[in-house]
Amino acid sequence: MSLNQISKVYATALLELAQEANSLESTEEELSTLVDIFFSDDSIRHYFLSPLVDPSEKERTAEKSVQGKASDIVANFITLVVRKNRFLFLKDILEDYRTGVDRLKNRSSLRIVSKDSLGKEAIDRITKSISSKFGREVRVSEQTDPALIGGFKLFIDDFLIDASIRAKLAGIEEALLQKKIPVGAFE
């Protein structure tokens, strides 16, 4: 099984359980919170990824740390992921789970990448425009990328709308290279 398929298999299983329990979005919130906690603290992440720590000890620790803090579905899921030595895939599982929830709710995922934060008003305008263009609700996340010169990139489902300055300059360069300038035209 490829690495990409591992996260999809686990996400699909969790999606089915959450759908049966009518808790798609609460499961997503709980899982997101736990993934943030596990991966924001280096010592926790290293503990669960360490080959030196006994796997059964990892499982007991995971079980103790999530019991009472998450629903049975999420707590059992986290314990299973640790038991099966799939802790490293938790972030990917969460993303695949979100994609599945979006698909079930007929919602699109929009990621806005810009040099600096665009501000609420600009994000709202972009969201409204994309929502009307695709005819569905949009879940928005924003990222900054200092490598961008200016402008922004929109990633929606499998589409990329590149409105960055770098893309505009590349388009101008391509247009100039396509234009045939006769030799001696500038003499």
Residues 111 and 55 in one domain: no
In a domain, 75, yes or no: yes
Residues 149 and 75 in one domain: no
Residues 42 and 114 in one domain: no
The pLDDT of residue 11 is: 93
Is 93 strand, coil or helix?
Answer: helix
The pLDDT of residue 115 is: 86
The pLDDT of residue 167 is: 84
Residues 112 and 92 in one domain: no
The pLDDT of residue 66 is: 87
The pLDDT of residue 181 is: 60
In a domain, 187, yes or no: no
Residues 94 and 117 in one domain: no
Residues 114 and 95 in one domain: no
Q: How many domains does the chain have?
A: 2
The pLDDT of residue 2 is: 63
Cα separations (Å) of 111 from 17, 29, 144?
27, 18, 10
Residues 88 and 9 in one domain: yes
The pLDDT of residue 93 is: 93
The pLDDT of residue 1 is: 60
The pLDDT of residue 60 is: 92
DSSP characters for 108-151?
EEEEEEESS---HHHHHHHHHHHHHHHTSEEEEEEEE-TT--SE
Q: Which domain holds residue 136?
A: 106-178
CA-derived radius of gyration, the chain? 22
**Which parts of the chain register pLDDT below 70?**
1-3, 180-187
The pLDDT of residue 184 is: 54
